[in-house]
Chains A and B, each alone.
Chain A
């Protein structure tokens, strides 16, 4: 009897390890291919194509990118800028709204919650939204068009509200008795008590900014205003862009200039930081998760 049970467990574990390992490799494979591609020599790619392992190892692509880093540096600055400003402002407004909606003595909180929630159910669609921003708000080709559309999300507000609901009413009531105003209660009491929620939602907002390419695609024309992901998109979409932006600055003829491997190197440089930061971010996410879980 006992042996039979263990036998089944062994079969199960073997199956499990095999499957999970395969799935994990499946998740890693594209990353590996890009990295391997970026370290292959251009000639090999042109003659034989991309391979699972670099046949002829070469740092040429990185040398070219780092010798004329102007455009990529610029895009990094834009992305870091909009991510920092957008996340900070977004977190401020979202947390204020969450606090107000979590206040049980605020009579209109259900009506307002629904007004906010309804925007996720029905919308005018992409085109009226686009026309509003370009024609009436005149934000075409401005950084505002990269920051505002992602700043406040209905779902983030509802989530924030739920985080803040877990703060005991008695804390707020005792502060009111002591004569603290509503904003002061929010600023001095509620915010410090909601750090896990703030971290989680702040990271959601920041990640959305960091990975955004869409708003740049529809609103931005000037290449100095391109954020990272959109620059990568442009470079992937056309070798022309690549040549003029990066290779063009070098005194290389187009024949010698790497293009295919360069695309991969740019992809690595653009994505690298998020992959390295990711394990730490994940930990943060989990922290917010366990603290807030008390609420159920």
Chain B
């Protein structure tokens, strides 16, 4: 199961992808039997740091580059959270900018910006999670039951393909289908003697288009997780059911689906932990800088990106980012707490 899940890991920008699969992966990576860990830690604690350093010099040296890397790219930038409390001044740098306390946060809330961003981010994620998981389960159930080895392999390969291509190409697809002058949809409308529709002026349809592309990109690899869960169900259940005269539908209803519930609940819980993290690539490649559509399509990540690259509003952007990071972290802690209470071996830490 471990490496199967590894196979599904979504490669991408670490700062933006907070995929539930990655989350599951971590779940597997971080679980270990607590008893053994305690014993080992105690043995080490007796000797002290310098003794250990001397004993395993080479090991320390081998992991040093990675530790330095995370120090430079992750831990030191955390100091920059301070920007969220300043009115950023390009000449002043980090501590030269005037300190304004919670003003940036107050402004973000009072102007309604943050509320709107949170609403969009959370609602999109809920749509992604629910629709995505349901379709993945349906796909996995059918793929596991229908005969035809070659057909199944081809179908799986095809459905997995979108996972491998870049988000830029997704932007190209969207442009080619929906652009107002010569997009495929408008061409078809013209051929049906129907008035054309200017997608780039209407926020409404993009909710469905974005969700559609998300499903498109993640269906195949999400289905493989459920497929793996189905494969791990013992054949004996099905044989017994067949002997009792259950047909395929009854087998699925009474064996497959109930046994998928734990996987489903767990995946949903993990996704809820990441509900404040947006799919930046998806939104940015499809919507880009089209301000007409922001009401329906702006999420926290795109707002932060624009603060940095378009508006140069460093204080405000950092504040929104910090809000996301902090509450995202709290959510993970809560979700982890819930999982720990119910199924301890799946807890993250």
The residues of A with any CB-CB pair to B shorter than 8 Å are: 1, 4-5, 8-9, 12-13, 15-17, 19-21, 23-24, 26-28, 30-31, 33-34, 37, 45-46, 48-52, 93-94, 96-97, 99-101, 103-108, 110, 112-117, 119-133, 135, 137, 148-155, 157-159, 161-163, 181-183, 186, 196-197, 200-201, 204-205, 207-208, 210-215, 217-218, 229-230, 232-233, 236-237, 260, 263-264, 267, 270-271, 274-275, 278-279, 281-282, 285-286, 288-293, 295-296
* Nearest CB on A from B300, distance (A): 10
**Which one of B3, B69, B169, B317 lies within 8 Å of A93 (CB-CB)?**
B69
Interface size range of chain B in the complex = 35 or more
Give B contacts to A, CB under 8 Å.
1-4, 6-7, 9, 11-16, 22, 25-26, 28-30, 37, 40-41, 43-44, 47, 52, 56, 58-59, 62-63, 65-67, 69-70, 72-81, 83, 93, 135, 138-139, 142-143, 145-147, 151, 154-155, 157-162, 164-173, 175-177, 181-184, 186-188, 190, 216, 219-220, 242, 245, 247-249, 280-281, 285, 288, 301, 304-305, 307-309, 314, 317-318, 321-322, 324-326, 328-329, 332, 349
Rounded to whole Å, the gap between the CB of B61 and the closest CB of chain A is: 8
Q: How far is the CA of A282 from the CA of B157 in the complex (A)?
A: 8
Output the least CB separation between B231 and chain A (Å).
11
Query: Distance (Å) between the CB of A63 and the closest chain B CB?
Result: 20
Bound-complex Cα distance A149 to B12 (A): 11
Given contacts A26-B216, A237-B288, 4 further A-B contacts (CB under 8 A): A28-B158, A125-B304, A128-B77, A132-B73
Is the pair A100, B62 in contact by a Cβ cutoff of 8 Å?
A: yes
Task: With A34-B176, A45-B182, A183-B58 as known contacts, state yes or no: A8 contacts B165, CB within 8 Å.
Answer: no
With contacts A16-B146, A20-B139, A157-B66 known, is A207 near B324, CB below 8 A? Answer: no
**Cβ 8 A contact of A236, one of B65, B66, B171, B318:** B171
Residues of A within 8 A of B305 (CB): 126
Other-chain residue from A1, A229, A260 in contact with B166 (beta carbon distance below 8 A) = A229
Chain B residues contacting A196 (CB-CB under 8 Å) are 3
For residue B70, which residue of chain A has the nearest CB? A119
Q: Determine how close the nearest CB of chain A comes to the CB of B41; give it in whole angstroms.
A: 7
Complex CA–CA separation, A129 to B13 (angstroms): 13
Most chain A CB neighbours (cut-off 10 Å) among B14, B170, B216, B332: B14
A-B contact pairs, 16 of them (CB 8 A): A12-B249, A30-B170, A97-B62, A121-B332, A124-B79, A127-B80, A155-B22, A157-B66, A159-B25, A159-B29, A214-B281, A236-B168, A263-B172, A263-B175, A278-B161, A293-B2
Contact of A182 among B3, B14, B58, B309 (CB under 8 A): B58
Please, which residues of chain A bring their CB within 8 A of the CB of B248? 8-9, 12
A99 to B63, CA, bound (A): 9
Listed from nearest, the 4 A-B pairs whose CB atoms lie closest are A128-B80, A125-B321, A292-B3, A107-B44
**Contact flag A132-B2 (CB < 8 Å), given A23-B159, A30-B177:** no
Q: Which residues of A contact B176 (CB under 8 A)?
A: 30, 33-34, 37, 50, 264
Give A46 to B187 CA distance when docked, in angstroms. Answer: 11
| A286 B7 Cβ-Cβ under 8 A | yes
Q: Does A23 contact B139, Cβ atoms closer than 8 Å? A: yes
Instruction: Determine if A108 and B52 form an interchain contact, defined as CB atoms under 8 angstroms apart.
Output: yes
Structural contact, B80 and A49, CB atoms closer than 8 A: no
How near does chain A come to B88, taking the closest CB pair, in angstroms?
9
